[in-house]
Structure 1
Amino acid sequence: MSNLNFNDTINDLSNEDVSIRKEAVESLVGITDEEAIEPLIKATTDDNAQIRFKAAEILGSMGEVAVDKLIDEFENAEGKDKRFLAFALKETENKKVIDSFVKSTEDEDFGVRKVAVRALGELQAEDELDFIAKCLDDEDWGVRLAAIQALGDLATEESINLIKDARKAEKDKDFKKSCNKAIKKAQKRQKAKAAGESVAKVIPISTIKEMEKTNLQKAIKEYERYVESKQDKDAPYKRLCILYRKANDYDNEVRVIETAIEVFSDNDKKLEYFTKRLAKLK
């Protein structure tokens, strides 16, 4: 994006016409320019929910580039304005945000509390178990459910026991089902850890392919989860090779190929694609 187009797009985020604001925020998907951070933060308070969500999603995808500014804004925000900033912070997947989310488990807004406790689980904040556990007594059903999910993410004996206690104390059948689901997930994670396997949260490949059309940066991030956990599906590795080639990112393409060769070393059919691709790069 040229400087002229970039400046026009940033200005359009404040246009009175909601359709122009929507088009502007969509055109910023995948951007990493620090100058876009403050305008996007402002967009998280837009009157239109779609714009607020998309702005938060973009900020989250920026990761390390935006996280410090997001933390500052989040800790000075109040009420509903905090909700989408909370979502953006969670999407950064950066452990810097843990302290902010710990404080926010007692926020006056239930939406912020829900995102905060959920994020603590996803970030594997085992040291903050007491704060997660307190949310099991929250007045909001959604926050209590998020706490159950967070405890399932931690997948420790202590967190599983807390889920079991909450299940025993709760009468709501749907809540009990969620507890059962969280326990199964936690036990599956425990087995994977015990076997020395990497545990990564992945979404269906078909969903990621669709995501490529709207948020390429996030799609790459989701494909990388498959590589990180060395899953035996070759499609994510192939898509990453293609996407990194288009971006002229030689180093990352080689890294993905070499990981694929390791993963598919005993599968000649899948291995052939990656060995040939690597040979062409050298």
Structure 2
Amino acid sequence: MSNLSFEEAINNLSDDDVKVRKEAIESLVGITDEEAIEPLIKATTDDNAQVRFKAAEILGSMGDVAVDKLIEEFTNAEGKDKRFLAFALKETEDEKVIPYFVEAVDDEDFGVRKVAVRALGELQADDELDTIAKCLEDEDWGVKLAAIQALGDLATDEAIQLIKDARKGEDDKDFKKSCNKAIKKAEKRQKAKASGETVVKVIPMSTIKEMEKTNMQKAIKEYERYVEAKMAKDAPYKRLCVLYRKENDYDNEVRVLETAIEVFADNDKKASYFKKRLAKLK
């Protein structure tokens, strides 16, 4: 773990030594201070890919705090400088960025177009079906695949039909596999919605556990998706309680415990763990 202060980390982002810059960016993980926004935005154009990516990831995790400044910078940026700003905007998960991604699907840089169309799917921009479909004709293969994934995220009948039409028009086996995967995902989401389940995008627990080592705030965010969906897996609730305890966040720990008790009301063995922990807090 780095012992850099906030001021030292910000200053070191401009150091000539890439090792110093890497240490600086790692020490800023989980930061929400507005003073970090501009230095981090500058870091998204760093010569080192690791620094660029981590800067964008941190900005995205800041959410509302950084989104307006990110939009401003994204609108004025050009070429490759927009790529990691696009990623940061996508990671904010703020619906206000949708119009900017709609415009960005026509960007001259294929990397920006790819992130833009993928974001429209992840943000559930149902009204932008035609915009996403347009990307199926993009000259870049990666953008076309991103469009297929985005349509799978939307999971509407119209989106599924577009995927099927695209699959029919291509001979490439890998492309067809991607289409089949997207259709399967979309149909699964449709069934979940039809049964009244909350559809939430989650990533594997093992991935989040590893994430705890490098970005605790993002790990908390990913665990919270399990709680939001009230999934019947006790591990996410347990890990969240541990992380909120480390953060001295009493209110959120209590909220997670009460949610877990509700979810596992019919499972005495699992519920008892959360009841005992809650009793100790109160």
Shift in Å, 1:64: 0.9
Give the aligned partner of residue 33 of structure 2: 33
Match of 2:144 in 1: 144
Structure 2 counterpart of 1:274: 274
Counterpart of 1:235 in structure 2 is 235
Please tell me the residue identity of whatever aligns with 1:216: M
Give me the whole-angstrom Cα distance separating, in 1, the residues matched to 2:245 and 2:20: 33
The answer to which of 184-193 and 225-234 deviates more is 225-234
**How far apart in 2 are the matches of 1:52 and 1:59?**
11
Number of the residue aligned with 2:154: 154
Aligned counterparts of 2:268 and 2:172: Cα–Cα separation in 1: 51
Q: 1:79 & 1:26 partners in 2: Cα distance?
A: 26
TM superposition outliers: structure 1 runs of 4+ over 3 Å: none
Aligned partners of 1:6, 1:169: CA distance in 2, in Å? 53
State the alpha-carbon separation in 2 of the partners of residues 19 and 103 from structure 1: 37
Q: What residue identity is the alignment partner of 1:10?
A: I
Partner of 1:206: 206
CA offsets, 1:177-218, max 9 Å, x none? 100110000000000000110111111111111111100010
Say which is worse superposed, 31-40 or 237-246, in terms of deviation.
Answer: 237-246
Map 1:1-282 → 2, pairs under 5 A: 5-282=5-282
Structure 1 counterpart of 2:153, which letter? Answer: D
Distance 2:8 2:220 in 1: 27
Q: Would you say how many aligned residue pairs link Structure 1 and Structure 2?
A: 279
- d(CA) in 1 for partners of 2:97, 2:25: 24
DSSP 3-state at the match of 1:244: helix
- Between the aligned partners of 2:125 and 2:259, the Cα distance in structure 1 is 28
| Structure-2 separation of matches of 1:94 and 1:258 | 28
Amino acid across the alignment from 1:246: K
Distance in 2 (CA, whole Å) between partners of 1:223 and 1:212 is 10
Q: Render the CA deviation track for 1:165-186: whole Å, top value 9, x for unaligned.
A: 1001111110011001100000
- For the residues of structure 2 that align with 1:84 and 1:5, how far apart are their CA atoms? 25
Alpha-carbon separation, structure 1, partners of 2:208 and 2:152: 24
SS at match of 2:198: coil
Deviation at 1:80, TM superposition (A): 0.2
Cα distance between partner residues in 2 of 1:207 and 1:184: 22
User: With structure 1 as the length reference, what TM-score do the two structures score?
Assistant: 0.97
Q: Aligned AA for 2:276?
A: K
Root mean square deviation of aligned Cα: 0.9
Identity of aligned pairs, percent?
Answer: 83
Cα deviations by residue, 1:231-275 (Å, 9 ceiling, x for unpaired): 111011001111112212111111111111111111111000011
The amino acid across from 1:135 in the alignment is C
Equivalent-residue separation in structure 1 for 2:253 and 2:8 (angstroms): 34
How many angstroms does 1:5 deviate by? 2.2
Cα distance between partner residues in 2 of 1:215 and 1:72 = 26
2:181 partner amino acid: K
Q: TM-score, normalised on structure 2?
A: 0.97
